[in-house]
Structure 1
């Protein structure tokens, strides 16, 4: 991972903050699980924000398309469909990784 990437910086900052907040509390989970929990939480928050952005863009566009079917509107819908497909693939990857981790846990 690129340590200068915004997502990595956000993760590192949030993780350090949580470690400092939780150091006085008896934490049942090992360090690795807390790190994974935060990674999954941030990934889900990011995906949720992307879904909301896409919804804000797609609904008005679909209304416009319903009132006027033209090449420009169709191209915009096609572009957003591509974004939706990419987002769906990201969600599926997170899902698959969680399933993989759970399967590994059962066999360990």
Structure 2
């Protein structure tokens, strides 16, 4: 049975993108080169609610590639996969082609 997490309010479920540890030629890359902390948005919540009860949508969409803070988020494991939950305001930016 597969499980799916749907974030609450303004939370965003992210799967971190792990940088390659070596090149195609087999050269090991130092960890300092791979400092960019990025992730793929898996699911988003409906957004925070105003005083009137209307949702304020989150700023990212499912499938977006986002820049994450170095620390923070809540780690969640589902089977072999590892995810992180962040609040919308914790996301530092999005990548666009």
Q: TM-score with structure 1 length normalisation?
A: 0.25
| Greater fraction strand | 2
- RCO comparison, higher one (Cα < 8 Å, 6+): 2
| Greater fraction helix | 1
Q: TM-score with structure 2 length normalisation?
A: 0.27
* Structure exhibiting the larger radius of gyration computed from Cα positions: 1
